[in-house]
Amino acid sequence: MEKREQLYEGKAKKVFATDDPNLYIVSYKDDATAFNGLKKGTIAGKGSINNRMTNFLMQQLEKEGVPTHFVEELSDRETVVKKVKIVPLEVIVRNISAGSFSKRYGVEEGIVFDEPTIEFSYKNDELGDPLMNAYHAIALKLATREEIERIKELAFKVNAFLKAFMKARNVDLVDFKLEFGRLSDGTIVLADEISPDTCRFWDSTTHEKLDKDRFRRDLGNVEDAYQEMMKRLGR
């Protein structure tokens, strides 16, 4: 496996081509942004933690029947993944009210839902990732009806696994964001990352925030929270 030219640089990761046309290498950065890049900073050690946590969780999810882009962890920060075309939707699953849900509907954080919710945002920085329903996504040809159904099925499967997995480690899975991609044959697989950047994790006992909200809201001890989550996973 040979690393070739950089194809893309996002806010938290870089993507490189390889000598294999079906494989990419992703490289995780310590850079952190919030509010569509308005707030910038670094979280020391984040790249390594998010890389290793994502890979560990994706391997567990594969065992649960969720196909992912994961291939092989190369180093602390770098991972080989299958080449996909990202479906430009942020898929957000919620178990407990928080963040933009609480703001939009004017409710406090911490309301435990009877059933998980799902929503989509159009992945488009210029537009600020606007909320979008499935009909809009189909109308704009971002995904087919069948792909949306598959994405919903996989997202809820991820939630069922991750929620129980975290609960066993005294962590409440509040909400999270997933991204899916298409392999060259059209198969939908889980892509991007699953990390404290993309999930809300609350300690089940103290309700202490163990995720990127510590950075977004200037709560302090950001690095400690990421490290604590790795410890909870036994990593």
| Of residues 125-184, those binding ligand TMP (CB under 6 A) | 175-177
- Least Å distance, CB 123 to ligand TMP, is 9
> What is the Cα–Cα distance from 33 to 112, expressed in whole angstroms?
28
> Which residue's CB comes closest to ligand TMP?
99
End-to-end Cα, the chain, rounded Å: 26
- Whole-number Cα distances in Å, 214 to 27, 65, 96, 146, 200: 23, 32, 18, 37, 10
Q: Is 33 in the site for ligand TMP (CB under 6 A)?
A: no
Q: Is 199 in the site for ligand TMP (CB under 6 A)?
A: yes
> What is the Cα–Cα distance from 93 to 177, expressed in whole angstroms?
7
Query: Given phi > 0 = left and psi -120 to 50 = alpha, else beta, which region is 110?
Result: left
- Least Å distance, CB 195 to ligand TMP, is 9
Q: Which DSSP helix (H) or strand (E) runs through 42?
A: strand 39-42
- Least Å distance, CB 223 to ligand TMP, is 18
| Of residues 66-125, those binding ligand TMP (CB under 6 A) | 92, 98-101
Q: Is 198 in the site for ligand TMP (CB under 6 A)?
A: yes
Q: Which of 52, 77, 163, 200 binds ligand TMP (CB under 6 A)?
A: 200
Degrees to nearest 5, angle at CA 154 with 150 and 158: 170
- Least Å distance, CB 101 to ligand TMP, is 6
- Least Å distance, CB 80 to ligand TMP, is 23
Beta bridge partners of residue 17, listed in sequence order:
24
Interface residues toward ligand TMP, by CB under 6 A? 92, 98-101, 175-177, 198-200
